[in-house]
Structures are given as structure tokens and as C-alpha cells.
């Protein structure tokens, strides 16, 4: 019906789709009337409907805009994707029926339901172009629009392959025309072929809709549940009165359908290799890399343990505003937390989302994470309300074990999280095997504060200087809106505590602020584990290692499913030289977050002071294979290569790394590059870089361990000891957390330096 463009709406900085009516249609349509008709359907706001954002006309050309939905059409998925399970097909049909039930209740008929108008994104199906066919028909000034797939039959706009008989002959249609089109779509999706597949031309298809009866689904060896086959065939009745009384009735019938265990994937009659072979090849490489990461030395779940385990995928954002993506991601993490507290073995607060972002489908994610079930869904928030659709899917056969939709005031989102967790826990463990859920706590009564918190959590999980600064700002805003929001204060403490590892010369202020935020959180609510984890990391930075150990133990006692706590606790053991305990703790973090990049780096950071350089290089390399933009992974490789006798290669990586950093204050990579130059004997290059760093800091070199090691190599022993002493006083994160690094061995010959390095690694 239109030419489609992807555009940026500059006012809000979001991607939108602009659809301009095709010339053959626009020639017979009043743009002004079309815009007016669009306004009547723009009010539709439902999770499975792609909303209309705006409409208008330019030089007589009518257009409308919609959110950009990342994903693919159902047509593309049917013809070129891997086989859909029966559960996936039923979920798609349920989502489309849900959209129709809502729209029909609002008095809006679609008139052009077909696979091309169903978009699949993050486990949810969304119907697009609602009301457009009606707007075109009502705005027509004269007849005459015809095209290959879009036609006019008796003055009715629609697609011949999915057109109800009454629509084809130009009668006035109502919601039952949509039910017929849904039936055709369902027949094709379930059987792998259109009910009138042998017909090609629009005229033949229209004639078939009017006069021919399709072969019953129940008579075909498709594995379609009988109840589902019955409702589809009822929708395909020629007489509108013989179809279901409403889309809601069809939806109710769908909700009674269960999928058979051990089902086999279907094979579409017209399936063919994807045209995007290069993309799939890339995904295959990523998949292999991820598989290696997840399975290399990782724990293996027992079948019984795996059956009762779960991963929560990020909830798809259906609000029409891309900026709301974080809300579904953060909400999934919160549901994960609630599930863990209810006794369910939950894997990966962030790993499931990371694998999904790499292009793995739901069943592949379940296999990689060794879980028996997945919780998927979508979320839409608007005007103080939230709608959450969730489905519990069996990884064994793809069947839907439970599905529900929650419509609540946004302020009640905490209760919804716990309600979902309780139902899922009961489904997985049984009512007798599940501990009672804790009483739901409303952690804040300010929905905007909660939204800021969720966005901050998403950014915190990404790490990096930029995301961490943004996370800190968001947690501060959430805390300012609600000073009693303990979780926001605790997360602020976490972000402040770890920031010195990413931002040079930030330690003293960050440690003070992190401790203050953690103590505020504890004063409000002493049961939040992140508060104690943040205190543990802060104590590590200032050398209070026994206190750090105590705080980590408190955090784990409150919640043993936080991967970050285990990772930081592992770094503490590595700093103390207890490498066995360090690897055990990091292995716990990896088991909780199998696809976590930072967990991969924790392992590499323990292997380096253990002097297992080749293994550290390999581990960092697997993280790079997962995400080549993760600078900490490159830093791990650079450190390993410098110390394992490959400084040329390490320096080349460091030069590229430094070139990607923003201008301004020197960072750890600058100091390591100067150290690498000195290792290679490139004394002049090392001194020039040190001079550049000195000039950027007003005449003084950065107080870091890397600079101290560089000066020692260049023969400035007193300067090296002085910078090491300054780095210790400033609590340089890369020195105080890793005092056993090989690059300090030359300095250890000096009793002053040896005393510092020994104290940093002692309780």
C-alpha cells in the first residue's frame, strides 16, 4: 500500500517508519480526508498493535508514521527462517487474535490481516497498519487503484490471498472479515501452505474464497492440536454468521489449546536458504565462540536441576518509544531477582539478553544456558499504566506452560513482578516444593524514580566509563526523586565503587561517595545485598581487605545469585594469592552469568597475577569474540601479550586501543602503552608518551602502577618508587587490586616498593 522509509525523528532522537501511500493509491485518495480517517484509529494502544504516531500530507502525498519495530515480518520468518515450533506458532496466533479482540472492541476493523502485516520482535507478534485499508477506502475520490497484491474488488481494498468472501464481492464488512483473514493466516502458518495454494492470480484467489472449501486441518498430518484446528476451520466459514462470534471468543478457544510433548519442528513448503547467508555465517561464528565460552571449564547442570531452571529474556518494548527499551530489560532483571528469592534456579540476569542480542533464538538460548524453561514477554507503559505479557516456555519442546497478561497502574509494578515470580515458581516447583514468597514491598511510590533506576541498572551492566557515569547520574536522579528508595542508593554505591577501574584519578571521591550511598541504603533497608557488595569493593580499594571479606560474605548471605558479588569476591582472593578460591568464586559468577563479558574478564584478571599468561590471553580472546568493542577484553590481551614475551603484538593492540579513547586525561591504557614501548626498547617513544601525559596533567605524571613500572624500565628508579607511593596513596585501582602483577617484579627489589606491594596483597 505504501513506500516505506526508515527515518530519524529529530525532536526525540528515535527511529520511526514513514509510509507514503503508493502513487497508484494516492492518485485516488484525498490526503486531507485520509489524515482525518487516520486520526480515528490512532487511539489504538495495545501491546500487540504497532501504534500510529502521526499522519499528514506533503504536496498532495498522504503519509503516516509508526514506531520502528526491530525484527522481521511473519512472512519472512515463514519463508526463510528455521522451523517454528508448534508453541511458537500458537503464540503468534494468540498475539494476533489478542490485537484483533482489542481493536474490534474499539470499533476498528483491520481489513488486511496477512503475514506481511505481522511483525515479530523479541518473542512477541505485533500487527501493523491497523485501519489503513479503511482509511484508504473512506478517503477515495474515485476508483481505479490496482496493483499486484493490493486490489479493489467491488470497491474494497485488501489482499486477495486473505480476503473474506464478503469483502471480495464489495459488501460492507465488519470484524468477521478479520476473523476470516486470521483463519487463512493460521491455516498457512500451521500447515505450511495457503488453503488455496494452487491458485495464483488475484481473480483465481477471490473465486476460491467465494466457492471452494479448503482441506480440513484435522485431516492433514500437521500435528495441529484438534481444538486449534477446529477454531481455524470455523474462522474459514464462507458465511460470516458461522464464524466465531468475536475475536475474543477465538482467543478464549486458543487459551485452552495445549501443545503435544516431543513435537517435531515443521517444514514450510516454500522454505529456502536465507539470502542473508553472510549474516548467518557471522552469527555462526559468534555462536561457536559463545559456545566455547559457556562450555570451557564451566559447570554442567544435571538433568533434574536443568528441568527446574529458568532464564528470563528481556521483555520486548511495545511502547513505540525506543528510549523505553531499557524498561523491559530492567524489568526482566527485577523479575529474575524475585524468582531467585522464591527458590527457582535462575540463570543469568543479563546473559539471556546478551545471547538474544547476538541473534540466538529462544531454544538456542535455553540450550546455551542449560535451562529447562524460558520466561518471555513484552511490556508497554503509557499514561501511568503498564501492560506486561509473559509466557513460560518449555525448552524441551517449545510448549507454552503458562501465559498471562497483566494490566496495572505503573505504581503497582513491584506487585506484578512478585506475582509473576510466584506463579512461575509454583509452575516449575509445585506448590509444596516452593518456599513462600516474601511479602511484596513497594520500594518506591514514584514510578519515574523506578524507571530511572531500571535504566541505570541496564547501563551499569554494560560497564565502561561512559555507561557507568550515565548510570550514576540516573541513580542519583532516582534517589533525588525518592530519598527513601534504598535500591537506587545501593546501586549508586555499586557504580561509584567500580568507577575507579574505568576512570583514572577518581578513587578518593568515589570511595567516599560509594560508602556514603551504601550506608544510606542500609539505614533505609538492611536486606539489600548490593549495599554490602559496594562496601566490599570500596574496602578493597583502600586496603581494608578483612572488612572487604566480611562485607562480601554478608552480601552473599542475603543473595547468593548476584554474579557481581562473586566476581569481586574472586578478585579479592586473587589479590591475596589464594588462586584456588579465586577461580572457584569466579566460576560461580560465570555459572550465574554464562554469557557475561565482565565475568570472562574476572577470570583473565586472576590468571595474569597467577602468571598463566597464555591462558589469560585465550580467555580475553573469547570475550573479544563475543563483543569486539569491549575494551577491557583488549586490555586483558594487551597485558598478557606484554608479559608473555610478545610485546610487539601487545603494543600494536595498545596503540589501536589508545587511538579509540576520547581526548583528555590519560587512562590506564596510556600508561601500559608507555610500558610496552619501554619493554621493546623504544625509549624515545616511551618518554614522548610520558611527556604528553605529564603535560595533560599540569606537569605531573599520573599516580599509577603502570607509570611506575615504566619509569623503572627507563632507569628512573627513584621516580618509579615515588609514583608507586603516590599510586598507593591515591588507591590506583589497577595497582591496589593487582599488586602481584609481573610488571612490578623489578620494583620489588627496593624495600620501600616491596613493603607497599606486600601490604596491598596481605590481610
Residues 45 and 108 in one domain: no
Instruction: Give the model confidence (pLDDT) of 174-209 as tens digits.
Output: 899 999 999 999 999 999 889 998 887 777 788 788
pLDDT of res. 262: 43
Q: Report which of 284, 342, 287, 292 is spatially closest to residue 590, judged by C-alpha positions.
A: 292
- pLDDT value for 441: 58
Q: What is the pLDDT of residue 25?
A: 62
Q: Is residue 406 in a domain?
A: yes
pLDDT of residue 142: 47
Where does residue 179 rank: exposed (0-12), middle (13-18), buried (19+ CB within 10 A)?
A: buried
Whether 573 maps to a domain, the answer reads no
pLDDT score for 595 = 77
- 191 and 129 assigned to the same domain: yes
The reply to whether 10 and 58 lie within a common domain is yes
Q: Say if residue 220 is in the same domain as residue 294.
A: no
Query: Does residue 643 lie within any of the structural domains?
Result: no
pLDDT at 147: 37
C-alpha to C-alpha distance for 183 and 231, rounded to whole angstroms: 8
Query: Could you tell me the CATH number of the domain that includes residue 62?
Result: 3.30.200.20
DSSP 42: T
Whole-angstrom CA distances from 408 to 100, 159, 203, 519 are 21, 37, 48, 33
Which pLDDT does position 567 carry in this prediction? Answer: 93
Report in angstroms the alpha-carbon separations of 425 from 396, 511, 751: 18, 39, 58
Q: Which residues of the chain have pLDDT under 50?
A: 142-156, 261-305, 431-439
Task: Examine residue 727 and state whether it is found in any structural domain, yes or no.
Answer: yes
Cα–chain center distance at 693: 38
228: cell is 486449534
- The domain of 100 spans 72-255
DSSP state of 534: H
Note whether 166 and 117 are same-domain residues: yes
Q: Is residue 243 part of a domain?
A: yes
User: Total domain count for the chain?
Assistant: 4
Instruction: Please state, in angstroms and rounded to a whole number, the distance separating the CA atoms of residues 294 and 276.
Output: 27
CB of 181 closer than 8 Å to CB of 156? no
Q: Write down which residue in 410, 442, 474 finishes a domain.
A: 442
The whole-angstrom separation of Cα 123 and Cα 131 is 24
- Domain end point (choices 67, 92, 109): 67
Residue 428 lies in a domain: yes
The pLDDT of residue 154 is: 34
Please check whether residues 80 and 198 belong to one and the same domain: yes
Residues 6+ apart with CB under 8 A from 330: 453, 454, 455, 457, 458
pLDDT given at position 273:
34
Amino acid at each position: 500500500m505504501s513506500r516505506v522509509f526508515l527515518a530519524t525523528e529529530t525532536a526525540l532522537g528515535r527511529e520511526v517508519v514513514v509510509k507514503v501511500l503508493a502513487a497508484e493509491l494516492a492518485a485516488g485518495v484525498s490526503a486531507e480526508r485520509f489524515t482525518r480517517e487516520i486520526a480515528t484509529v490512532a487511539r489504538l494502544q495495545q501491546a500487540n498493535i504497532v501504534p500510529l504516531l502521526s499522519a499528514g500530507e506533503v504536496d498532495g502525498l498522504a503519509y503516516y508514521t509508526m514506531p520502528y519495530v526491530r525484527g522481521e515480518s511473519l512472512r519472512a520468518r515463514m519463508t526463510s527462517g528455521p522451523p517454528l515450533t508448534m508453541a511458537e506458532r500458537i503464540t503468534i496466533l494468540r498475539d494476533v487474535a489478542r490485537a484483533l479482540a482489542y481493536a474490534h472492541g474499539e470499533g476498528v476493523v483491520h481489513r488486511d490481516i496477512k503475514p506481511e502485516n505481522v511483525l515479530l520482535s523479541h518473542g512477541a507478534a505485533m500487527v501493523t497498519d491497523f485501519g489503513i485499508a479503511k482509511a484508504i477506502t473512506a478517503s477515495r475520490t474515485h476508483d481505479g487503484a490496482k496493483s499486484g497484491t493490493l486490489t479493489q474488488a467491488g470497491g474494497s481494498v485488501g489482499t486477495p490471498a486473505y480476503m473474506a468472501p464478503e469483502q471480495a464481492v464489495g459488501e460492507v464488512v465488519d470484524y468477521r472479515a478479520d476473523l476470516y483473514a486470521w483463519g487463512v493466516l493460521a491455516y498457512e502458518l500451521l500447515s505450511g501452505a495457503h488453503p488455496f495454494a494452487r491458485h495464483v492470480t488475484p481473480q483465481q484467489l477471490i473465486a476460491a474464497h467465494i466457492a471452494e472449501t479448503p482441506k480440513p486441518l484435522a485431516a492433514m498430518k500437521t500435528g495441529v492440536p484438534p481444538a486449534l484446528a477446529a477454531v481455524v476451520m470455523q474462522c474459514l466459514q464462507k458465511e460470516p454468521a458461522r464464524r466465531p462470534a468475536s475475536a475474543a471468543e477465538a482467543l478464549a478457544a486458543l487459551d485452552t489449546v495445549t501443545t503435544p510433548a516431543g513435537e517435531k519442528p515443521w517444514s514450510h513448503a516454500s522454505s529456502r536458504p536465507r539470502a542473508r547467508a553472510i549474516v548467518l555465517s557471522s552469527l555462526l561464528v559468534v555462536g561457536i565462540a559463545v559456545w566455547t565460552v559457556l562450555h570451557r571449564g564451566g559447570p554442567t547442570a544435571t538433568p533434574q536441576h536443568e528441568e527446574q531452571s529458568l532464564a528470563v529474556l528481556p521483555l520486548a518494548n511495545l511502547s513505540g518509544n525506543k528510549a523505553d527499551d531499557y524498561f523491559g530489560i530492567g524489568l526482566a532483571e527485577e523479575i529474575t531477582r524475585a524468582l531467585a528469592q522464591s527458590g527457582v534456579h535462575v540463570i543469568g540476569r543479563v546473559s539471556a539478553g546478551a545471547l538474544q542480542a547476538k541473534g540466538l533464538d529462544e531454544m538456542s538460548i535455553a540450550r546455551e544456558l542449560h535451562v529447562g524453561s524460558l520466561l518471555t514477554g513484552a511490556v508497554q507503559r503509557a499514561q501511568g499504566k503498564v501492560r506486561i505479557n509473559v509466557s513460560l516456555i518449555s525448552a524441551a519442546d517449545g510448549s507454552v506452560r503458562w501465559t498471562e497478561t497483566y494490566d496495572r497502574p505503573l505504581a503497582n509494578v513491584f506487585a506484578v513482578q512478585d506475582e509473576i515470580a510466584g506463579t512461575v515458581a509454583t509452575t516449575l516447583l509445585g506448590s509444596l516444593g516452593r518456599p513462600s514468597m516474601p511479602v511484596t514491598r513497594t520500594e518506591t511510590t514514584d514510578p519515574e524514580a523506578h524507571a530511572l533506576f531500571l535504566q541505570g541498572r541496564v547501563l551499569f551492566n554494560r560497564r565502561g566509563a561512559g555507561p557507568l557515569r550515565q548510570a550514576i547520574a540516573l541513580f542519583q536522579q532516582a534517589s533525588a526523586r525518592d530519598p527513601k528508595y534504598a535500591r537506587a542508593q545501593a546501586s549508586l554505591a555499586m557504580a561509584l565503587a567500580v568507577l575507579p577501574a574505568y576512570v583514572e584519578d577518581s578513587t578518593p571521591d568515589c570511595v567516599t561517595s560509594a560508602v556514603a550511598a551504601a550506608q544510606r541504603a542500609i539505614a533505609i533497608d538492611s536486606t539489600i545485598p548490593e549495599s554490602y557488595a559496594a562496601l566490599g569493593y570500596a574496602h578493597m580499594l583502600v586496603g581494608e581487605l578483612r572488612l572487604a571479606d566480611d562485607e562480601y560474605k554478608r552480601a552473599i548471605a542475603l543473595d547468593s545469585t548476584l554474579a557481581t558479588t562473586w566476581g569481586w569476591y574472586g578478585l579479592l582472593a586473587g589479590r591475596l594469592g589464594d588462586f584456588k578460591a579465586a577461580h572457584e568464586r569466579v566460576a560461580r559468577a560465570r555459572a550465574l552469568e554464562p554469557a557475561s563479558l565482565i565475568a570472562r574478564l574476572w577470570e583473565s584478571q586472576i590468571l595474569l597475577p597467577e602468571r598463566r599468561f597464555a591462558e589469560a590471553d585465550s580467555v580475553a580472546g573469547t570475550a573479544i569474540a563475543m563483543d569486539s568493542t569491549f575494551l577491557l577484553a583488549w586490555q586483558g590481551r594487551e597485558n598478557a601479550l606484554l608479559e608473555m614475551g610478545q610485546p610487539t603484538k601487545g603494543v600494536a593492540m595498545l596503540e589501536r586501543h589508545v587511538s579509540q579513547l576520547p581526548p583528555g586525561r590519560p587512562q590506564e591504557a596510556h600508561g601500559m602503552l608507555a610500558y610496552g614501548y619501554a619493554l621493546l626498547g623504544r625509549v624515545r617513544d616511551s618518554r614522548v608518551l610520558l611527556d604528553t601525559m605529564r603535560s595533560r596533567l599540569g606537569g605531573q605524571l599520573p599516580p599509577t602502577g603502570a607509570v611506575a613500572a615504566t619509569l623503572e624500565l627507563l632507569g628512573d628508579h627513584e621516580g618509579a618508587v615515588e609514583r608507586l607511593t603516590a599510586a598507593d596513596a591515591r588507591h590506583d585501582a589497577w595497582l591496589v587490586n593487582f599488586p602481584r602483577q609481573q610488571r612490578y617484579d623489578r620494583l620489588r627489589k627496593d624495600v620501600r616498593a616491596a613493603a607497599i606491594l606486600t601490604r596491598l596483597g596481605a590481610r
